[in-house]
Each structure stands twice: as C-alpha cells, then as structure tokens.
Amino acid sequence: MKEEKRKIYYLFSPFLRIFHWIMVLSIVTLFVTGLLVTKPVTVLGIEPTYTAMSMDWIRNIHFLAAFLFCAAFILRIYGFIVNKG
C-alpha cells in the first residue's frame, strides 16, 4: 500500500492565536477581579482595604486587564482590515 504524506494546514495564523489567548486571559482576569471588586473578601472581620490583596491592587489589575483587552481587540480589528487573506 502506498504511504501518503500529509501536509498540515493551520486555519489560524500565529497573529490570531496570540490575540485570542490575550483576550481569553484578560477576560478571565476581568471576571475574577470584577467579582472581588463587587464583593470583597473579608479576612477575620478586617476591612477589605487592609487585607493582604488590597482593593487598590485589585482595581489596578482590573483596569490593566481592561486596557490590554481593548488594545488587543483594536489591534485584532486592524489586523482584519489590513490582512485580507
């Protein structure tokens, strides 16, 4: 029987894969930090602002993830417009 050689074709370019995973990670981060911002975890009755993970840090991580998601989304749209193939 004749042995066939198969060629692997990728449906998505590395550009799309990178931006896909950046968006996935930023959405997960936004979800988790959004839950922590809306209902902070209290440790032993201490105010949420004085816990080990301060609300300032959680908000900063949330905003950083939001900016990263927006930048990835805008660059993804730009890549779609520029790369017609």
Note whether 48 and 55 are within 8 A (CB): yes
Provide the pLDDT for residue 51.
62
pLDDT at res. 23 = 95
Task: Quote the pLDDT of residue 85.
Answer: 57
pLDDT tens for the 85 residues of the chain, in order? 678 888 888 788 888 888 899 999 999 999 999 998 888 776 666 665 566 667 888 999 999 999 999 999 998 898 888 876 5
Task: Give the count of beta carbons closer than 10 Å to the beta carbon of residue 33.
Answer: 21
Check: pTM over 0.85? Answer yes or no.
Answer: no
| Cβ 35 vs Cβ 28: under 8 Å | no
pLDDT recorded at residue 47: 64
Q: Which two tokens stand for residue 71?
A: 């930048």
